[in-house]
Amino acid sequence: MPFKKIAKFFSGPAPHISRDEAMKVFQRDHFKCQYCGLDGLHNFSNWLVLTIDHVHPHAKGGGRHMENLVTCCQPCNVVKGHRVFASREAAKKFVLEKREEWHRAFQDQVKSHGSAHAAQR
């Protein structure tokens, strides 16, 4: 994979963060998703899904300064989307509640597809 693609991979959907900036945020946050706590250093699969989230969305005018940037796994980033929250805590609460909701939907799916798949969760 060419370096530019890797850099883009690291910086996630927001286009203006350099790899160096992303690394600074990852290191400050100890490579952990600031919403669900996923540990990006636990294994390679976790590491691959780390992105940078703009707490106040980039698309809504959020800045790219360190205070507005947090380490975020791709699933949490997708859940959070471009919503605007009063604080990082409010964003975290929303993301965790949404994940819990999706988890219940997931469990329903597993149930309705029988025990063969249930063993894989």
Using CB under 5 A, list all residues that contact Zn ion.
Answer: 33, 35-36, 38, 73, 76
Cβ nearer to Zn ion, comparing 52 with 76? 76
Other CB atoms within a 10 A radius of the CB of residue 97 amount to 11
Cβ nearer to Zn ion, comparing 23 with 36? 36
Q: Could you tell me the sign of the dihedral formed by the alpha carbons of 82, 73, 8, 56, in that order?
A: positive
Nearest-CA neighbor of 54 among 95, 8, 11, 98?
11
Cβ nearer to Zn ion, comparing 22 with 33? 33
Minimum distance from residue 55 beta carbon to Zn ion (Å): 13
Minimum distance from residue 97 beta carbon to Zn ion (Å): 13
Minimum distance from residue 111 beta carbon to Zn ion (Å): 25
Cβ nearer to Zn ion, comparing 23 with 96? 96
Write out the DSSP string of 39-91.
Answer: BTTT-HHHHHTEEEEESS-GGGT---SGGGEEEEEHHHHHHHTT---SSHHHH
Q: What is the H or E stretch that residue 25 is in?
A: helix 19-28
Minimum distance from residue 26 beta carbon to Zn ion (Å): 13
